Amino acid sequence: MMLPLYRALTSAGRPLIRLYLAYRQTKGKEDPERFSERLGQPGRARPEGKLIWAHAASIGEALSLLPLIEKFAREQDKLNIMITTGTVTSAKLMTERLPKNTFHQFVPVDCLAYVRPFLNHWQPDLVLWAESEFWPNMIHECHDRAIPMALVNGRISSRSFDRWQRQAKFIRRLLSPFKLCLGQTDLDAERLRVLGAANTQCLGNLKFSAPPLPVDEAEMAKLESMIGKRPCWLAASTHPGEEEVIAEAHQALRTTSPGTLTIVVPRHPERGNTIKEIFEAAGLKTSQRSQSQAPSPETDVYIADTLGELGLFYRLCDIVFMGKSLSDENGHGGGQNPLEPARLQCAIVQGPHTINFADITDNLRKAGAFREVTDAGTLHQTVGELLNDPAACKRLALAAAQIAQSQDGALDRIYDSITPLLLAGTPQKDHHANT
């Protein structure tokens, strides 16, 4: 009953969907030049030969898929791969980092009028869904066309598990068409099985297989020269409410660690001007990277409100506070991926709200590989201690790096389990072409 109702509502709601997308466009959250892709209209011709379609919600999920995409591209040079995401920032990042024979498209809104033209054009031979992206119309249209699907790096949080259990028939209908569901952890795989997935396994977490984030060496040398010997630390992927805490911590560091430079990389670069106002209201001098302002000796806080440069700042700073972890209010909690700084041997500091990376955080905690903070006071104390004790900072960083390397082989196992699905079915051509 739920699926027919969902289909009726999404079909009847097309005018509202268009209005919502138009609103998002005014906020810079939709690409005006590629807007038609969100309505199921292709942005390019379909390449000849087999095509894998991989879908990820946004930057984090797309980056976790990237090692698998790169392996398919490397091992099967005649294979074409399309990755879809739903955000402008992820589209830009993927366009810059995708390998040969791989391209990006925006995912269409999950309305049959948009989904069917999308599938009619692309006719994928295999669909990979990342983590917990379940779009009912798209899933069942793929199933109707006999296109094999696999869930990769599947994640079912305890909150989602409880919610889906209250809609048991609906989630079973969504999961049962998948040929394979690979959980990030044994617990994720078990939850997927309970919810209705027929073939569940845990072969490892793809997030452990990602390469270190890239860096522009020339930019790094330039910033190293500008910063000189000043002590510095990084607040990475910050969310609303955290900058105020960072400002208070920096004010205290002025006394205990004079000359410290705080670097802030917001998760959403468009917040740069707002963040600048927060720090300046706290009496701190700022420089803003998006405005081509360099960090001067007088700069307290350097706001790196750009995209795709975290690899640069992880290399510049030995100490990293991971954002989205201090507050769980208004959906701003859950944490960010601590494996990214761990791979680059950073000492990791994060708040208590890390449910999005619970298993990784548990592994780091058992290894004593990060420090937990709860407010401005503990943030100042922890960062100050690490700035003044390089040996302790190094020990913390090395422990985290060992955890980041602890699941070698997961990528090969996941690749080997998915590859046979390329031969498992052939999509139907021109299905519902007149719809």
Please answer whether residues 324 and 267 qualify as being in contact, where contact means their C-beta atoms are separated by less than 8 angstroms: yes
CATH number of 2-13+22-205+410-423: 3.40.50.11720
Reference 17, options 104, 129, 120, 137; nearest CA is: 137
Residue intervals of the chain classified under CATH 3.40.50.2000 are: 217-404
Closest CA to 150 of 114, 179, 113: 179
For residues 23 and 84, give the distance between their C-alpha atoms in angstroms, rounded to a whole number: 21
Burial class (CB in 10 A: 0-12, 13-18, 19+), 408: exposed
Prediction pTM value: 0.84
Q: Are 293 and 308 in contact (CB under 8 A)?
A: no
| Domain 217-404, architecture per CATH | 3-Layer(aba) Sandwich (3.40)
What's the DSSP call for residue 21?
A: H
CATH 3.40.50.11720 in the chain, residue ranges: 2-13+22-205+410-423
Q: Which two tokens stand for residue 127?
A: 């669909």
Q: What is the pLDDT along the chain (435 residues), one digit of tens a residue?
A: 588 899 999 999 999 999 999 999 998 899 999 999 999 999 999 999 999 999 999 888 999 999 999 999 999 989 999 999 999 989 998 988 999 999 999 999 999 999 999 999 999 999 999 998 899 999 999 999 999 999 999 999 888 999 999 999 999 999 999 999 999 999 999 999 999 999 999 999 999 998 899 999 999 999 999 999 999 999 999 999 999 999 999 999 999 999 999 999 999 999 999 999 999 999 999 999 999 999 999 999 999 999 889 999 999 999 999 999 998 766 667 999 999 999 999 999 999 999 989 899 999 999 999 999 999 999 999 999 999 999 999 999 999 999 999 887 899 999 999 999 987 655 555 555 444
329 is known as an active-site residue:
no
Give me the catalytic one of 30, 33, 37, 61: 61
Say if strands 286-288 and 301-303 run parallel, antiparallel, or are unpaired: parallel
CB 161 within 8 A of CB 187: no
What distance in Å separates the CA atoms of residue 356 and residue 337, rounded to the nearest whole number?
8
